[in-house]
Chain A
Amino acid sequence: NAGVTQTPKFQVLKTGQSMTLQCAQDMNHEYMSWYRQDPGMGLRLIHYSVGAGITDQGEVPNGYNVSRSTTEDFPLRLLSAAPSQTSVYFCASSYLIKDTQYFGPGTRLTVL
Chain B
Amino acid sequence: DQQVKQNSPSLSVQEGRISILNCDYTNSMFDYFLWYKKYPAEGPTFLISISSIKDKNEDGRFTVFLNKSAKHLSLHIVPSQPGDSAVYFCAASAGTGGGNKLTFGTGTQLKVEL
Interface residues of A (CB under 8 A from B): 4, 31, 33, 35, 40-45, 48, 50, 58-59, 90, 92, 94, 96-106
Contacts and interface: CB of A to CB of B under 8 A. Distances in A.
B106 A42 contact: yes
Given A50-B99, A92-B43, 10 more contacts: A4-B43, A42-B89, A58-B101, A98-B93, A98-B96, A103-B43, A103-B45, A105-B41, A105-B42, A106-B42
Contact of A106 (B43, B89, B100): B43
B68 to A, nearest CB: 17
Interface of B: 4, 6, 32, 34, 36, 41-46, 49, 51, 89, 91, 93, 96, 99-107
Q: Which 4 A-B pairs rank lowest in CB-CB distance, beginning with the nearest?
A: A103-B43, A42-B104, A43-B104, A42-B106
Contact of B101 (A4, A48, A90, A99): A48
B43 A44 contact: no
Contacts of B102: 43, 45, 101
A42 B107 contact: yes
B33 to A, nearest CB: 11
20 contacts: A31-B100, A33-B100, A33-B101, A41-B106, A42-B105, A42-B107, A43-B91, A43-B102, A48-B101, A94-B100, A96-B100, A98-B93, A98-B96, A100-B46, A102-B46, A103-B45, A104-B43, A105-B41, A105-B43, A106-B43
B99 A96 contact: yes
**Among B36, B96, B102: residue with most chain A CB under 10 A:** B102
Nearest to B91: A43
Contact of B46 (A33, A101, A105): A101
B104 A44 contact: yes
Given A31-B99, A48-B101, A100 B49 contact: yes
Nearest to B34: A100
B104 A97 contact: no
Contacts of B104: 35, 42-44
Contacts of A105: 41-43
A50 B96 CA distance: 12
